[in-house]
Structure 1
Amino acid sequence: MFPHIKQIEPTRQDAPIGDYISDKTEAYFDALQLLERMHRLMLDLVKDEFERLGRNDLTPVQVLILYNLGEAEVSAGELRSRGMYQGSNVSYNLKKLVTMGYVSHERSDMDRRSVRVKLTDEGLEVREIVQQLFLRHAEGLAMSGVLDDPPLEQVNMQNRRIERFWSEQIRYIY
């Protein structure tokens, strides 16, 4: 009836979920696991780089917050929407980063409840370290041909479509 769907033999007589799983569904499940593993590996790469440099005062998540903050001045909410952080983690980590001198903050003139944050010179140094790390990785991947088949631009476009779909699902729920 549906040629693109293969039938899976149920392991139990009352198999409630997944009697039919399409190849695309399996690929989607693989992609979800791969995204999670790649994120953890990226955190490990950042951690290893900073340990190699003797910079053990920052967690990998804090380093990525500094990297994603960049040279902009933003609110915590804007920073959360840019990166992969939970709301409470952003607030906690921003407080730590301010205390350690990597981020400066000030209340917004327009809305006193809102706090604007930006990198200090020390924060900019950390961002540069991460930028150089990612550049080395990009060059190595480009030289190896890994980014060519399929072209990374197509992979990124597909990931943006999935991101948009997920965002729409979240908006639909609320």
Structure 2
Amino acid sequence: MADSVDRIIAQWNATKPNLDVSAMGIIGRISRLENIHDAAIREVFARHNLLRGEFDILATLVRADPAGEGLTAGQLTAQTMVTSGAITNRLDRLVAKGYVTREVDPGNRRSVRVRLTPEGREVVDDALLEHVDNEERMLQSLSAEQRDALAGILSHLLTAHERG
């Protein structure tokens, strides 16, 4: 069964038969899947009054701060791998929604700690459950063995790119 990228690859093979476009097929499929999956993920978060980046902050607070002591903006930046400006914008929106608070760190008065509010905890817990179910649906066409193989291949590729 052919996918949407197969037609493009066939056209290139007919037009430029001496050019190996197999990498284009792989990257093209990854890109198209990302677009499809991103739309589905955004839909889930929208039902919880969240943007994708806002969910990322809330989820980071849940997984990286299990004691609920809060994380500094610097710690959030390191955990999410986005710029400090992006963190600030996301935090501003989350504070306005009542999902997080910013409090002066009692151990270092020059630092601010970000903490989940009870409402923030509830919204991220609800969104997380739906998000995981959504991701499971996106992968339902793969067997357990295929999922393991794909995860391994993608991990290998990501590791190679992260190393530079």
Q: TM-score, normalised by structure 1?
A: 0.62
Where do residues 1-174 of structure 1 align in structure 2 (5 Å cutoff)? 9-10=15-16, 20-47=19-46, 49-50=47-48, 56=49, 58-70=50-62, 72=65, 73-83=70-80, 85-108=82-105, 114-137=111-134, 145-148=140-143, 150-169=145-164
Taking structure 1 as reference, are residues 113 and 34 closer, same or farther at Cα in structure 2, changes over 3 Å only? farther
The percentage of aligned residue pairs carrying the same residue is 21
Taking structure 1 as reference, are residues 40 and 103 closer, same or farther at Cα in structure 2, changes over 3 Å only? same
Higher RCO, Cα 8 Å, sep 6+: 2
More helix as a share of residues: 2
Taking structure 1 as reference, are residues 29 and 43 closer, same or farther at Cα in structure 2, changes over 3 Å only? same
Q: Is the 8 A contact 2:44 2:131 kept in 1?
A: no
Q: Is the 8 A contact 1:67 1:126 kept in 2?
A: no
Bigger mean CA offset, 121-130 vs 131-140: 131-140
**What is the CA–CA distance in structure 1 between the aligned matches of 2:83 and 2:39, rounded to whole Å?**
15
Q: Is the 8 A contact 1:8 1:20 kept in 2?
A: no
SS in 2 for 1:70: helix
SS in 1 for 2:15: coil
- What whole-Å deviation, never above 9, does each CA across 1:93-119 have from its counterpart, x for those lacking one? 112212332112334566655433221
* Unaligned 5+ runs, structure 2: 1-11
* Unaligned 5+ runs, structure 1: 1-5, 11-18, 51-55, 170-174
Taking structure 1 as reference, are residues 32 and 113 closer, same or farther at Cα in structure 2, changes over 3 Å only? farther
Q: TM-score, normalised by structure 2?
A: 0.65
**What is the CA–CA distance in structure 1 between the aligned matches of 2:108 and 2:159, rounded to whole Å?**
30
